[in-house]
Amino acid sequence: MNSIIHFLLLYNQYLLSQINDLLSFIAKHIPIKQSAFEDSMSPKYQKFKVDKIPIIHKFEKQDYKFLIEYYFYKYKSHLKPIKRRDGTPVPDSIKCPCCDAPSNYIYANNGKAGQFQCKVCGQCFNKQNHANKPMTLKCPYCGNTLEHKKSRLHFNIHKCVNNSCSYYKSNFNKLPKNLDPALRYKYKLRYIYREFVIDFFKMDLHQLPNWATSFKFRKNNPHIMGLSLTYHVNLGLSLRKTAHALKEVHGIDISHTMVANYAKTAAVLIKPFVDTFDYKPSNLLTADETYIKVRGLKGYVWLIADRVSRSILGYQVSDNRGVGPCILTMRMAFEKFKTFPKNALTFVADGYLSLSFSSSTIYFK
């Protein structure tokens, strides 16, 4: 018994020494505290980064008379008009866009540069009255108003240009030390927000295209249409081979154009049934996109599937890899839920730009 315990103790010490050697090897060759920023800061990964939601400031109209009365109620003294000593005039036509305070309550905030400040409500503005915008986007890190930089097909790009922003300073300090200043544009240094300008939640997903024909047969009948679909869809024959097979096997003289019309009409009429079927989706979804070629033209297929039942919940075919078809695919998939699971939903996708931004936008909506 003693010999067994002695052997186990020796073996335990041997294992501990092996663990120490492995830890030393890892610490030397595979640093544990490897900076996660090294890869994410690389220009190859810039498109995969999603920033926080900005601070949304909505414009609220106020009454300067009420604010003056409230000032007297709170401080027991009247809010007096401004006594100008520097000689900088404020035109009588200038009024505060927020509370309509007259010019005798307006400061010439930065002299002759054109900015004013209201003494009553504290609002800063200029002659263009940009302060009364219905909505203002502000940086969540420094509170600076975001500037509109670019306009895309489905969204506008807003950027924080404040050089004192903590987000900008943090990213700037992490740049490679020997980086050429001309190459800084490849790195994401400033806070960026994408404002979607199209309401994807009001688009009709089940509208039939204009080219769809009806099933009111003039020359043929439903049996001929069934045969056409059987040869063309089930057997995978081309349009011309399908028309040739119908003539050789069944003695039915039909053109390949009519076969194509039958196939397209059947597809668009069956599509709403497939899209609105109750798939009973689980809380685990997977999404991906790939490219296809149709008649030599490059296109993209977007798919969202249920990981449990393997059902295709959402799909789109597009000629680009933009955000639009991606969000439509997500809408189609999320429409299958009778009660949306919200935080209980697990959405698995790669780090592609459209999938990343679209998923965050859908959840925000």
Final residue of a structural domain among 95, 125, 155: 125
Does residue 162 fall inside a structural domain? yes
* Domain match, 356 and 288 both: yes
Condensed to tens digits (0 to 9), the pLDDT of residues 227-283 reads 998 999 888 899 999 999 999 999 988 889 888 888 888 887 787 788 888 888 888
Q: Which of 257, 276, 295 is the last residue of a domain?
A: 276
116-149 pLDDT, tens digit per residue, is 888 888 777 776 655 556 778 889 998 888 888 8
What is the average per-residue pLDDT within 340-363? Answer: 64
CATH number, position 294: 3.30.420.10
Could you tell me whether strands 297-306 and 312-318 are parallel, antiparallel, or unpaired per DSSP bridges? Answer: antiparallel
In a domain, 212, yes or no: yes
What would the mean pLDDT of 204-231 be, rounded to a whole number? 73
* Residues contacting residue 317 through CB under 8 Å, at least 6 positions apart: 292, 299, 300, 301, 302, 325
Instruction: Specify whether 287 is located in the same domain as 270.
Output: no
Segment 195-205 mean pLDDT: 71
Query: Does 204 fall in a domain?
Result: yes
What mean pLDDT is reported for the chain?
A: 79
203 and 268 share a domain? yes
The percentage of residues in the chain with a pLDDT greater than 90, rounded to a whole number, is: 7
Please determine, for residue 157, whether its predicted confidence score (pLDDT) is greater than 80: yes
In which band, very low, low, confident or very high, does the pLDDT at 200 lie, cut at 50, 70 and 90? low
Residue 47 within any structural domain of the chain: no
- Taken in order 272, 273, 275, 276, the sign of the CA dihedral is positive
pLDDT value, residue 355: 56
Instruction: Please give the DSSP secondary-structure letter assigned to residue 209.
Output: P
Residue 210 shares a structural domain with residue 181: no
- Tell me how far apart the alpha carbons of residues 206 and 225 are, in angstroms, rounded to a whole number: 23
| DSSP symbols for 29-90 | HS-TT--THHHHTSGGGGGG--PPPPEEEE-----HHHHHHHHHHHHSS--PPP---S----
The pLDDT of residue 364: 40
Looking at 151, 179, 195, the residue that finishes a domain is: 195
At 96-119, the pLDDT tens digits run 888 888 888 888 777 566 778 888
Residue 37 has pLDDT above 60, yes or no: no
Q: Provide the pLDDT for residue 177.
A: 81
Q: What is the pLDDT, as a whole number, of residue 128?
A: 64
- Kindly state whether residue 33 falls inside one of the protein's structural domains: no
3-class DSSP state of 290: strand
DSSP string, 84-153: --S-----TT---TTT---GGGEEETTGGGSEEEETTT--EEETT-GGG-SEEEE-TTT-PBPEEEEE-S
* Domain presence at residue 42: no
What is the extent of the structural domain holding 73?
Answer: 61-125
Give the contacts of 117 (CB within 8 A, at least 6 positions apart). Answer: 106, 107, 109, 123, 124, 125
* Residue 361 pLDDT exceeds 80: no
> Is this model's pTM higher than 0.85 or not?
no
Let me know if residue 171 belongs to a domain.
yes
The pLDDT assigned to 165 comes to 92
Statement to judge: residues 258 and 295 lie in one domain: no
Considering the domain architecture, whether residues 287 and 325 belong to the same structural domain is answered as yes
In this structure, the answer to whether residues 232 and 270 fall within a common structural domain is yes
Q: Both 202 and 190 in a single domain?
A: no
Q: What is the pLDDT of residues 49-90, one digit of tens each?
A: 677 888 887 777 888 888 888 888 888 888 888 887 766 677
Q: 222 lies in a domain?
A: yes
- Indicate if 270 and 343 belong to the same structural domain: no
Overall number of domains in the chain: 4
Residues 284, 355 within the same domain: yes
Burial class of 54 by CB neighbour count within 10 A (0 to 12, 13 to 18, 19+):
buried
* 296 and 249 belong to one structural domain: no
The verdict on 343 and 285 lying in the same domain is yes
